[in-house]
Amino acid sequence: MPVPATLERVVVETTAADLKSFYLKFKDGPRWDYLPGQFAELSLYGYGESPIGIASSPTEGEELTFTVFNTEGKVTRALHRLAPGAAVGLRGPLGNTWPLEELRGKNVTVIGGGFAFTTQRSLIKYVLANRKDFADLTVVYGARSPGALLYKPELAEWEKSPELTLHLTVDKGDETWTGREGFVPTVVEEEKLPPDDAIALICGPPIMIKFTLPVMDKLGWKPEQIYTSLEMRMKCGVGMCGRCNIGPKYVCVDGPVFSFAELSKLPQEY
Amino acid sequence: MAAVKVKRNELPKLLEGAKAAGYDVFAPARAAEGWAFAPYEGGDVDLDGYLLTTASVKGFVLPQLEAFLSYDNDDGRLAAAPEGKRLLVGVRPCDARALALVDKVYLDRGFRDPLYLARRDNTVLVVWACGRPAPTCFCTSVGGGPGDATGADVMAYEAGDDLLLEASSAKGEGFLKAVKFGEASDAELDEAKATYAKVAEAMTPLWDLEAARPKLYENFEAEAWEEVASRCVSCGACTFVCPSCHCFDVVDEGKHGRGRRVRFWDACTQSPFTLHASGHNPRERKAQRYRQRVLHKFYYFHDNWGENLCVGCGRCVVACPVNVDIREAVSLVAGAD
Ligand SMILES: Cc1cc2nc3c(=O)[nH]c(=O)nc-3n(C[C@H](O)[C@H](O)[C@H](O)COP(=O)(O)OP(=O)(O)OC[C@H]3O[C@@H](n4cnc5c(N)ncnc54)[C@H](O)[C@@H]3O)c2cc1C
Ligand code: SF4
Ligand code: SF4
Ligand code: FES
């Protein structure tokens, strides 16, 4: 049963306005807790439900953040039309989390591309809030263009922060862009991201992952050190409706987070 | 509790007794297409020629379409759990076994589905052991059998003019206590069971699944999948008639802020099943989808729960408009190198 929440504010993230962040608060009454990497079903009565990764960290307080791409489908289009004050149902927390136990005390390497960066943001905020529980935090984040980068004010802060190393890149800059140009796999290669005592979390378009993995392999990363978050069409989110499986694993309950060691045992059907 | 003995011609009395005890009683009856469970209206239950209902019993616990939530603008309300005791007589062992398998997904996976649970709790399955399996039956090849009591509340064995009823769950016991009949002796019961064991032995095993199962998965990329699915028209009939296929889709229906959220049977053999909003579809081709159906039945479910999800009822073999046969599919793919 979706728990009633109120839309507090909406932030348009990209110049194309196809991605917006929705900041929600539970109404008085039932609520639930979550950890980085989990997702929720956003429910809009009359339109349906969509599984969306939680972009906020539980360390940030009461507001839950979801960054949603408008696919022009039923639910995401309706979400994009909402104004503050609107009611949204939240069913969750669903799925597993980023491997928080394994990450403790280790170097944390985040590699993100495009708008799959959302639950990685949750983890970055979580690490920053529990800074002494983790060693180095390194983030590579890329987007097609400067206008397509999410969380721009925050990225600006992180660039200056001594708490983490941020490598921002865009495929193609514009006249205002003074940063790096190039694809994520190239940045990973150039920066020689070290595998020592580290765990990497990689999310992005399939093509980015496809080209980044061999680079990491060359740098000495093992499949069990690299985690990703998968997406499959979902309905129930609780392992019943039967549509999100990859082999015997159901992404909604056994995932969405998997290591590449786990994925290597599953059929390539995603 | 000891087994109960009922004369075959006393069946109406038993069912009337069940009605008096507050059960809605359903029994197999001839329907437009084959057989269907129909409300028992009294009189003799003619099971001459009956083996299986065309649709399985799953609709009794997992309706083809049901509203699980209704909404009025921003207020949602969960549907109330259905009430009323039901008794289904003449269920076959394969169907009862299938429900026991679906239970794992709907009740044991972590989330307990309240509507499903209520229907399961309210429904007593009187399972009729099979004396004459059809050529399409292969229950013994997948772990079941003509006298298999898995998922049954009461097992009914025919013994000459008698019907021996043995409770195999607390629900079943409650029912047998509510209707008062004489006892069957252990010897009578053992003898009846032995005749059904013979029926089971007479069914030729199709494969050794312990050997075939890993082959099916190893042959994930085999060309044989294309062959087995080449005729498939992705109609979904096989999944709808199947007692253990339990996948559903969810949609909001309504106008002007009021409506209901419904779930309804869905089919993995149809392409929208896994279609992402982006247009990407991990199972774009029918061979990939049919492979999902077969591997779910024989490998994935087994990996998670230690049982085959197929109970060998043969309904999909009968229902397929283009004669896709899951038995052949398993043989062909497991035999491919
Ligand atoms: C674990 C997970 C996390 C996700 N996180 C995000 C996120 O942070 N931001 C974001 O923008 N998108 C995310 N998605 C994708 C998002 O769920 C789909 O884009 C969205 O459901 C499309 O819904 P729609 O109603 O607009 O599209 P329609 O095409 O109308 O789809 C109808 C329904 O099908 C299901 N569906 C369709 N496509 C998908 C899909 N790709 N994944 C899952 N279900 C689907 C949904 O129930 C949807 O409501 C995530 C998906 C998963 C599985
Ligand atoms: S897959 Fe076919 S034979 Fe097996 S249980 Fe389902 S309908 Fe019966
Ligand atoms: S019934 Fe036959 S044609 Fe229809 S989806 Fe199943 S295998 Fe394909
Ligand atoms: S979304 Fe229903 S089983 Fe995973």
Question: Residue B248 and residue A231: Cβ atoms within 8 Å?
Answer: no
* Average predicted confidence (pLDDT) for chain A: 94
Which of B201, B226, B247 lies at the terminal end of a domain, its last residue?
Answer: B201
Residue A263 lies in a domain: no
Q: Is B69 at the interface with chain A, CB within 8 A?
A: yes
For residues B52 and B163, membership in a common domain is answered with yes
CATH assignment at residue A202:
3.40.50.80
The yes-or-no verdict on residue B337 having pLDDT over 80 is: no
Q: What pLDDT is recorded for position B256? A: 82
Residue type, A183: F
Q: What is the distance in A from the centroid of ligand 1 to the CA of A258? A: 19
The yes-or-no verdict on residue A28 having pLDDT over 90 is: no
For residues B125 and B142, membership in a common domain is answered with yes
Q: What pLDDT is recorded for position B1? A: 76
Question: Residue B109 and residue A239: Cβ atoms within 8 Å?
Answer: yes
Q: Report which ligand 3 atom has the smallest distance to the Cα of B316.
A: 1
For residues B180 and B35, membership in a common domain is answered with yes
The per-residue pLDDT for range B91-146, each reduced to its tens digit, is 999 999 999 999 999 999 889 999 999 999 999 999 999 999 999 999 999 999 99
Q: What pLDDT is recorded for position B110? A: 85
Residues of A in contact with B259 (CB under 8 A): 45-46
CA distance linking residue B101 with residue B244, whole number of Å: 7
For residues B181 and B250, membership in a common domain is answered with no
The per-residue pLDDT for range B185-211, each reduced to its tens digit, is 999 999 999 999 999 999 999 999 999
Q: What pLDDT is recorded for position A98? A: 98
Residue A41 lies in a domain: yes
According to DSSP, the β-strands at A245-246 and A226-229 are unpaired
Domain that holds residue B265: 209-334
Beta bridge partners of A22: A10, A66
For residues B325 and B230, membership in a common domain is answered with yes
Residue A237 lies in a domain: no
Q: Is A46 at the interface with chain B, CB within 8 A?
A: yes
For residues A185 and A156, membership in a common domain is answered with yes
- pLDDT band at A209, cuts 50/70/90? very high
The per-residue pLDDT for range A65-97, each reduced to its tens digit, is 999 999 999 999 999 999 999 999 999 999 999
The yes-or-no verdict on residue B65 having pLDDT over 90 is: yes
Q: What pLDDT is recorded for position A225? A: 96
DSSP for A210-259, written as a single string: HHHHHHHHHTT--GGGEEEE-----SSSSS-S--SEETTEEHHHH-SEEE
Domain that holds residue A24: 3-94
Which residues between 82 and 101 in chain A have a beta carbon less than 8 angstroms from any beta carbon of chain B?
87, 89
Residue A168 lies in a domain: yes
Q: What pLDDT is recorded for position B255? A: 84
ipTM (interface pTM)? 0.92
Residues of chain B above pLDDT 70, percent: 100
Nearest residue, CB atoms, A269 vs list B105, B254, B288: B288
CATH assignment at residue A33:
2.40.30.10
For residues A108 and A211, membership in a common domain is answered with yes
Q: What pLDDT is recorded for position B315? A: 97
Residue A254 lies in a domain: no
Residues of A in contact with B111 (CB under 8 A): 238-240
CA distance linking residue A226 with residue A110, whole number of Å: 10
For residues B196 and B232, membership in a common domain is answered with no
Q: What is the distance in A from the centroid of ligand 3 to the CA of B321? A: 7
CA distance linking residue A142 with residue B316, whole number of Å: 49
Residues of B in contact with A73 (CB under 8 A): 277
| A241 ligand 4 Cβ < 6 A | yes
* Average predicted confidence (pLDDT) for chain B: 94
Mean pLDDT, residues B24-48: 93
For residues A30 and A57, membership in a common domain is answered with yes
Smallest CA separation from ligand 2 atom 7, residue: B242
Which of A50, A76, A94 lies at the terminal end of a domain, its last residue?
Answer: A94
Q: What pLDDT is recorded for position B306? A: 96
Question: Residue B274 and residue A238: Cβ atoms within 8 Å?
Answer: no
Residue A251 lies in a domain: no
CA distance linking residue A227 with residue A221, whole number of Å: 11
- Inter-chain CB pairs, A–B, below 8 Å: 99
Residues of chain A above pLDDT 70, percent: 100
For residues B195 and B213, membership in a common domain is answered with no
Residue A269 lies in a domain: no
For residues A185 and A68, membership in a common domain is answered with no
Q: What pLDDT is recorded for position A29? A: 84
For residues B137 and B12, membership in a common domain is answered with yes
Nearest residue, CB atoms, A235 vs list B249, B288, B295: B249
- pLDDT band at B227, cuts 50/70/90? very high
Residues of A in contact with B239 (CB under 8 A): none
The per-residue pLDDT for range B298-332, each reduced to its tens digit, is 999 999 999 999 999 999 999 999 999 999 999 99
Q: What is the distance in A from the centroid of ligand 4 to the CA of A254? A: 10
Which of A59, A78, A94 lies at the terminal end of a domain, its last residue?
Answer: A94
The DSSP letter of residue A196 is T
The yes-or-no verdict on residue B178 having pLDDT over 90 is: no
Q: Is A4 at the interface with chain B, CB within 8 A?
A: yes
Which of B201, B234, B257 lies at the terminal end of a domain, its last residue?
Answer: B201
- Could you give the number of structural domains in chain A? 2
Which of B180, B201, B222 lies at the terminal end of a domain, its last residue?
Answer: B201
Q: What pLDDT is recorded for position A214? A: 93
The per-residue pLDDT for range B246-295, each reduced to its tens digit, is 999 999 999 888 999 999 999 999 999 999 998 999 999 999 999 999 99
Residues of B in contact with A87 (CB under 8 A): 74
Mean pLDDT, residues B33-50: 92
Answer yes or no: are the C-beta atoms of B114 and B78 closer than 8 Å.
yes
Q: What is the distance in A from the centroid of ligand 3 to the CA of B266? A: 13
Chain A nearest CA to B68, separation (Å): 10
User: Closest residue of B to A94, CA-based?
Assistant: B111
Which of A40, A70, A94 lies at the terminal end of a domain, its last residue?
Answer: A94
- Could you give the number of structural domains in chain B? 2
For residues B192 and B267, membership in a common domain is answered with no
For residues A125 and A217, membership in a common domain is answered with yes
The per-residue pLDDT for range A222-260, each reduced to its tens digit, is 999 999 999 999 999 999 999 999 999 999 999 999 999
For residues A171 and A203, membership in a common domain is answered with yes
| B134 ligand 3 Cβ < 6 A | no
CA distance linking residue B104 with residue B318, whole number of Å: 27
The yes-or-no verdict on residue B35 having pLDDT over 90 is: yes
pTM equals 0.93
